[in-house]
Structure 1
Amino acid sequence: MYRVGMIVPSSNTCLEPTTYRMLSGIEGVSVHFARVPVTRIGLDAAADGQFALEPMLAAARLLADAGVDILVWNGTAGSWLGIDHDRALCAALAEATGIEVTTSTLALLEACHAYGVTRLGIAVPYTAEVTERIRAVYRGEGIDCVACEYLDITDNAAFAEVPEAQVRRMVTAAAHDAHAVAVVCTNVFGAAVAAGAEAESGIPVFDSVSATLWRALPAGCAVPGWGELLWAGHLRNDFQHAVETLLEATGADRTTLRIDLPEQGLAVDLTAAEGLRDGVSSIRRDASLDQRRLNTVEWLERHRELLVQNDFGADPKPPDALREVYGVRAQMLGPVVRGAAMVGWLSVHSLREREWGAGDREALSAAISAIHEILDASGKL
């Protein structure tokens, strides 16, 4: 049995029943709760004092008695107190208990990273002042909150009284021109509206309660019916780690994975994951090309081996957009073949001509193996 320990704001009436509902039918996972006093959200010293370390330590130690595998602070205070606050909290609780620790805010940021979200819409019950502080904190993490819907409420217990229909309207409004929407509060019933809002907007919805559960669950545990993150988020996160490892191993400027996994909403015309050097343009959301018809991809389909291009003087030539819009001057491509089908490929881009050495090729082959391991572990393809 995999046990999750959750530290909960005392006045929260949403996250426990919602978490139990999400885990209905999921075998091998149990969740256990301890509460700390939290009743009001604001930016004054008294409100901030509710999130002091000592009550958190006491709750964490009680949960540790239950033999939990992971501890989570199921609250979003770090979104306005600052990410360093949550990182310090995690370090202190981990040192006291010897158990892995995370928080709702860190889970939301990890979800944004896995999906390459830099333009985020947020739906919150808080005051304008708290909402602006959240925008500033997220901006410091490279995420621009391009749309903010808030309710100007301070009483934490009242957050759970916001009707789901109103939450849905807020999420829809916050989706404009965003890569994803986050419901930043664990006492708002946003989890149930995520799947429907995603179908309407075409972008992921990261509810804080579901994001916290996603991060707390063991790798490969997919929960259907509650939105993209709980269903496919672990896969996306693992893919992201694989391309970032490849980026570091090769010293490239960009690495990407394209793969056809329709059940997880993935198709090769958009990247499933992307690693980037600072200042390098993203191609994650550029679906302007029919990827399967590119000369280089057709070459991969025929040969089923690494394509290594130190420059683009010889065939197969990459698309003009890759060179002229994104400035790529050298690349490696590696096919991901499952059975008889090439289901996708990894790309390694350099913005200058370069000779790809044996170590670079080995790193690409290792990344292909990592993708296979991820797919094997997830039971996909």
Structure 2
Amino acid sequence: MYRVGMIVPSSNTCLEPTTSRMLSEIDRVSVHFARVPVTRIGLDPAADRQFATEPMLAAARSLADAGVDIIAWNGTAGSWLGIDHDRALCATLAEATGIEVTTSTLALLEACRAYGVTRLGLVVPYTTEVTERIRAVYRDAGIDCVAQEHLGLTDNAAFAEVPEARVRRMVTAAGTGGAHAVAVVCTNVFGAAVAAGAEAELGIPVFDSVTATLWRTLRATGARVPGWGELLWAGNVRNEFQRTAEALLDATGADRTTLRIDLPELGLQVDLTAAEALRDGVRSIRRDASLDQRRLNTVEWLEEHRELLVQTNFRDDPLPPIALREVYGVRAQMLGPVVRGEAMAGWLSVHSLREREWGEADRKSLHVAVDAIAQILDDAEIATRSLHPVVAE
């Protein structure tokens, strides 16, 4: 049994029943709650004191008595108090309990990182002042809130009284302006139930705070939870894809790494990247779907040879597309095929903005990354089967 501990704002009536419903078909996970006094949201000192360390520490210690495997502060105060506030809180609680600790705000930021979100639609029940502070905090974290919907409320208990239909309209309105995703930033708003429907309408992920917190606490289990939106179903795989791309970037010293893969069950196809890691100042290629990737010379070469394509320059065939060279400035690359059964499901790309030799260590790093993607896919299939066991007839 994997046990999750959650610290809950005392006036919150949303996150516990919502979390229980999301886990209703997962029989190997239990969730345990401890409350701390929180009744009003504002930017004044009295409101800030509700999120002091001492009550959180007492709650964390009580959860530790239950032998939980991870603890989450299931509240979004870090979204206006600052990311460093939540990181310091996690460090303090982890040191006191010896248990991994996270928060709702950190979970939301990890979801944005896993999906490459830098333009966010924001949905909150808070006042204008709190909303603007959240936008500033997220801007400092590299995320621009390009659209926002707020209700002007301060009473935490009142947040849970907002009808789901109103929340859905807010999410839809916030999913404009070129947003890469929408985030419902409050754990006492019933946003989880509207996420899947809104995603189908908008064509972008919807990260509800309650959902994001549960997603982050379940990471070690590999569980994929259907029916509650993109993040709980595919977020673990997307996160591992992103981590692999980032590790490959570091190992090779390249300027950009990408993963393209066909996984219809996760809504992924090769004309858009499933993961991308960039050096500072390097232009993103993540959402450019202008090319038919399977018909590129380099990809056709991969399909035929099923081995690494290593190009120190682009003087010889197979030539990459003009757009890669002229729009994105790539001068050298390595490509590694991801093969599943008889099919080439996708490939990893390693880009350099200058001509360069790719050494043996670089090639080995790409092989390691390709193997890592295969392992992620294997693990995801195991997790899926564990949610839907086969019953012998």
Instruction: Give, in whole Å, the separation in 2 of the partners of 1:219 and 1:146.
Output: 34
Q: How many residue pairs end up in the alignment?
A: 381
2:173 matched residue in structure 1 = 173
User: How many Å separate the matches in 2 of 1:365 and 1:237?
Assistant: 20
User: 1:232 is matched with which residue?
Assistant: 234
CA distance in 2, matches of 1:334, 1:185: 41
Cα distance between partner residues in 1 of 2:99 and 2:135: 31
For 1:344, the equivalent position in structure 2 comes to 346
Amino acid at match of 2:2: Y
The CA deviation at 1:84 is 0.2
Give 2:201's aligned residue. Answer: 200
Opposite residue 174 of structure 2, the aligned amino acid is A
Q: Which amino acid aligns with 1:11?
A: S
1:62 corresponds to 2:62 = yes
Deviation at 1:220, TM superposition (A): 1.8
- For residues 117-140 of structure 1, the C-alpha deviation after alignment (integer angstroms, 9 at most, x for no partner) is 000001000000000000000000
Q: Cα deviations across residues 17-72 of structure 1 (Å, max 9, x unaligned)?
A: 00000001112000000000000000000000000000000000000000000000
2:370 to 348, 368, 375: 368
Q: Which amino acid aligns with 1:207?
A: D
Partners of 2:38 and 2:111 in 1: CA distance: 25
Mapped to 1, the partners of 2:42 and 2:159 lie a distance apart of 13
Q: For 2:340 and 2:228, how far apart are their aligned partners in 1? A: 29
The one-letter amino acid paired with 2:183 is A
Query: Do 2:2 and 2:221's aligned partners in 1 also have CA atoms closer than 8 Å?
Result: no
Where structure 2 has 5 or more consecutive residues not aligned to the other structure, the ranges are: 385-393
Tell me if structure 2 keeps the 8 A contact 1:219–1:234. no
In structure 2, distance between residues paired with 1:71 and 1:327: 44
Who is 1:128 aligned against?
128
Scaled by the length of structure 1, the TM-score of the pair is 0.99
3-state DSSP class of the match of 2:171? helix
Answer whether contact 1:70 1:101 (CA < 8 A) is retained: yes
Name the structure 2 match of 1:38: 38
What is the aligned partner in structure 2 of residue 220 from structure 1?
222
Counterpart in 1 of 2:113?
Answer: 113
The yes-or-no answer on 1:144 pairing with 2:144 is yes
Structure 1 equivalent of residue 190 of structure 2: 189
SS at match of 1:158: helix
Q: 1:274: how far off?
A: 0.3
CA distance in 1, matches of 2:222, 2:285: 27
Could you tell me how far apart the structure 2 residues matched to 1:208 and 1:249 are? 33
Equivalent position SS for 1:379: helix
**Structure 1 residues 116 and 38, CA gap change in structure 2 (3 angstroms):** same
* Aligned-partner Cα distance in 1 for 2:76–2:222: 25
- Decide whether the 8 Å contact of 1:146 with 1:178 is kept in 2: yes
- 1:88-132 per-residue CA deviation (whole Å, 9 max, x = no partner) reads 000000000000000000000000000000000010000000000
Conserved? CA contact 1:42–1:48, under 8 Å: yes
CA distance in 2, matches of 1:49, 1:220: 36
Aligned counterpart for 1:317 among listed residues 316, 319, 329: 319
User: Could you tell me which residue of structure 1 aligns to residue 5 of structure 2?
Assistant: 5
Please state how far the C-alpha of 1:219 moved relative to its aligned partner. 4.2
Normalising by structure 2, we get a TM-score of 0.96
What is the identity percentage for the equivalent residue pairs of Structure 1 and Structure 2? 82
Give 1:353 shift.
0.2
Q: Deviations over 1:114-173 (max 9, x none)?
A: 000000001000000000000000000000000110000000000000000000000000
Residue identity opposite 1:201 in structure 2: L
Alpha-carbon RMSD across the aligned residues, in angstroms, is: 0.8
User: 2:296 aligns to what?
Assistant: 294
**Paired residue for 1:280?**
282
- Kindly report which structure 2 residues correspond to 1:32-111, keeping only aligned pairs within 5 A, or say none: 32-111=32-111
CA distance in 2, matches of 1:156, 1:165: 19
Give the Cα separation in 2 of the matches to 1:220 and 1:14.
25
Residue 294 of structure 1 contacts residue 319 of structure 1 at CA under 8 Å; is this kept in 2? yes
Kept in 2: contact 1:104–1:211 (CA 8 A)? yes
Aligned residue number for residue 209 of structure 1: 210
- Structure 2 distance, partners of 1:249, 1:71, is 32
Say which of 356, 359, 371 aligns to 1:357: 359
Alpha-carbon separation, structure 2, partners of 1:278 and 1:203: 25
- Once the two structures are TM-superposed, the CA of residue 303 in structure 1 deviates from its matched residue by 0.1
Q: How far apart in 2 are the matches of 1:118 and 1:297?
A: 29
User: Quick one: distance in 2 between partners of 1:76 and 1:254?
Assistant: 32
> Residue type of the partner of 2:369?
A
Letter in 2 for 1:351: L
Runs of 4+ in 1 over 4 A off after TM superposition: none
Q: Provide the rounded CA distance (Å) in 2 between the counterparts of 1:161 and 1:362.
A: 55
**C-alpha deviations, 1:253-291, integer Å up to 9, x for none?**
000000010010100000000010000000000000000
Determine the structure 1 residue equivalent to 2:388: none
